[in-house]
Amino acid sequence: MPYLATSKELCLKSVCRRNEPKIHFPFRIKSRQPESCGYPGFDLFCNEAGQTLMKLPGLYSGEFMVEGIEYHKQEIWLNDPKSCLPKLILFHNLSAGSPFKGVNYQDFTFFNCSESFDLGVSRLTPIVCLSDSNYTVFATSSARVIEILSTTCKLFKTVSVPVQSPFDEQILSSDLSDDLRLTWDEPGCGKRRDPIPELNPSVAPQSTLVLGLDGPTIESYPKIVLGESRRLPKPDDHTCPICLSEYRPKETLKPIPKCQHCFHAACIDEWLKLNATCPICRNPPPQPLPALISVDVS
């Protein structure tokens, strides 16, 4: 289904406040960037403190703080704005209808131990924000610790946690305060080596309401497999205007036939799904062309 967009909307980077992550496609800040500048399910917002937040679908609503985004790796790092990430982990189903998934998963079993439990002897790390004077909560991925705690404490849940990297068996327990490390598959242009820049604001805007192009139309545009000489229709083109990555041999590029502006195929495909104009000159591409084969420009 095509997405509505107006060609006068320029997709500029934005931040909630200084030193917060820079936000651009596929993400957008709802109050500051047009809907057409983001991908469905990638909406962010700012709270009163200027923190960048994201809501993820799940059994319980949860607001996660965006600690960082690595666009070239397609990874986002989340934590709890209220400084109790284990609570969000316990009561939020990250896999329910979310475009995001963990880079690494590890099962952690949560235990509730009474006040008589000897914390000093156990050498375990408690989850302070879930504990009080009457009981202590632990989370462990160690089979040995699970066996020991099962005899003296109450096991109340095992959760698959998207960790930064798997814990070694020697790590007896964790307070699970480290950021969650998530990734996404679609859209795929984030796998370029550099982030997508803001577009040139000097381009003359157009006010016509247009639709993003359909898949067959986008696929009909010619592709170029770049040769060692890296020669292109426009000799001054050395970098993709969308992601700012320098073109490299054997990469697949796609020029827009009418204006001959050239882009990484993955980058321009995602753009044209949301906008029916060239990102550079804002002219609409021509009508569908006959299918063309990829050629090696050498």
Residues 65 and 131 in one domain: no
pLDDT: is 254 or 191 the higher one?
254
Which domain, by its residues, includes 27?
4-102
Q: Give the pLDDT of residue 53.
A: 96
Q: Is residue 208 part of a domain?
A: no
CA separation (Å) from 121 to 66, 116, 118, 130? 37, 12, 6, 20
For residue 29, what are the contacts with CB-CB under 8 A and spacing of at least 6? Answer: 14, 16, 23, 44, 45, 46, 52
Question: For 38-75, what is each residue's pLDDT tens digit?
Answer: 998 899 999 999 999 998 875 445 789 999 999 989 99
Angstrom distance (rounded) from CA 153 to CA 249: 60
Give a yes or no: residue 68 inside a domain.
Answer: yes
What domain count does the chain have? 2
Q: Are residues 83 and 146 in the same domain?
A: no
Taking only the tens place, the pLDDT of each residue in 159-187 is 999 888 876 666 678 889 999 999 998 88
118 and 95: one domain?
A: no
Domain-ending residue, one of 102, 134, 149: 102
Does the residue 206 lie in any domain?
Answer: no
Does the residue 36 lie in any domain? yes
Tell me: do 38 and 84 sit in the same domain.
yes
| Mean pLDDT computed over every residue of the chain | 78
Is 95 within a domain?
yes
d(CA 138, CA 140): 7
Task: Check whether 270 has a pLDDT greater than 80.
Answer: yes
Q: Which residue has the higher pLDDT, 231 or 50?
A: 50
Going across the sheet that includes 295-297, the strands are 262-264, 252-255, 224-226, 295-297
Same domain, 85 and 17: yes
Whether 77 and 15 map to the same domain: the answer is: yes
215 within domain boundaries: no
- What is the pLDDT confidence band of residue 243, given thresholds at 50, 70 and 90? confident
- pLDDT the model gives residue 68: 95
d(CA 88, CA 99): 18
102-145 pLDDT per residue, tens = 899 999 999 999 877 766 556 788 999 999 988 999 999 988 88
Same domain assignment for residues 12 and 98: yes
Q: What per-residue confidence (pLDDT) applies to 157? A: 92
47 and 65, same domain (yes or no) = yes
Q: Quick one: pLDDT band at residue 279, thresholds 50, 70, 90?
A: confident
- Decide which of 68, 102, 136 is a domain's last residue: 102
Say if residue 62 is in the same domain as residue 140.
no
Tell whether 73 and 130 lie within a shared domain.
no
The torsion angle over the Cα atoms of residues 112, 126, 119 and 150, rounded to 10 degrees, is 40
Looking at the structure, do residues 89 and 116 belong to the same domain, yes or no?
no
Q: How confident is the model at residue 230 (pLDDT cuts 50, 70, 90)?
A: low
Q: Are residues 95 and 10 in the same domain?
A: yes
